[in-house]
């Protein structure tokens, strides 16, 4: 049985590498924007839907398990995607400044083309009141990597300085609900 991480996220890969389990990485084979348009559920359910679609998009042998994951940032009723440019990242951070948003993390495990496990976490993230200078300094430190991060922050790096309060699981905020995920993987591996 192989474990496959269906994600191109460096943060998710690093989280899983730190556990010591053996896995390979494959990029999900789907158009995320197209999937978002197809989705008919609630905004809070979008992350889990995308995680499932990503896991199911990777074709593999029957005994293998695929982990799919996604995150959605909700500020009020508005969904934020990854910024497409540094200017857009700056705009996102200005809009999130001094406000509380929800970061919803969805994770799914697929085996034999069926979802066998799913997890959704909601973290409440309260940002500091950021000045234009603080935002510019943060983006200069973070560089273009930040364009891979929903909300234009990476909590495991310089992004921790942006927040006043965080109510949620650190691992889920970074990209995977690691404890719950490892328990689910171990349970599946032990069935072999």
Of the candidates 31, 70, 167, 169, the residue annotated as catalytic is: 70
C-alpha span between 21 and 17 (Å, rounded): 7
Catalytic, 167? Answer: no
* 86 vs 95: CA distance, rounded Å: 14
The residues that bridge with 126 in the sheet, in sequence order, are 100, 165
What tokens does 65 get?
A: 């398990």
The DSSP element (H or E) to which 74 belongs, if any, is strand 65-75
DSSP lists the bridge partners of residue 101 as: 125
- Helices 86-96, 132-142: axis angle to 10 degrees equals 130
User: Phi and psi dihedrals of 148, rounded to 5?
Assistant: -90, 0
C-alpha to C-alpha distance for 32 and 66, rounded to whole angstroms: 17
- Using DSSP's 3-state secondary structure scheme, residue 191 falls into coil
Catalytic machinery residues: 70
């Amino acid at each position: 049985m192989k474990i496959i991480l269906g994600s191109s996220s460096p943060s998710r890969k690093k989280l899983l590498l730190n556990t010591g389990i053996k896995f390979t990485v494959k990029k999900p084979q789907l158009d995320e924007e197209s999937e978002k348009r197809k989705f008919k559920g609630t905004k809070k359910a979008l992350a889990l839907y995308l995680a499932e679609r990503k896991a199911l998009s990777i074709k593999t042998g029957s005994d293998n398990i695929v982990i799919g994951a996604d995150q959605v940032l909700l500020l009020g009723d508005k969904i934020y995607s990854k910024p497409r440019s540094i200017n857009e990242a700056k705009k996102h951070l200005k809009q999130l400044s001094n406000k509380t948003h929800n970061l919803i993390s969805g994770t799914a495990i697929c085996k034999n083309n069926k979802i066998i496990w799913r997890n959704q976490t909601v973290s409440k993230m309260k940002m500091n009141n950021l000045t234009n200078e603080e935002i510019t300094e943060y983006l200069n430190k973070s560089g273009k990597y930040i364009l891979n991060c929903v909300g234009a922050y990476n909590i495991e790096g310089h992004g921790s300085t942006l927040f006043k309060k965080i109510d949620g699981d650190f691992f889920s905020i970074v990209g995977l609900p690691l404890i719950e995920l490892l328990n689910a993987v171990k349970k599946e591996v032990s069935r072999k």
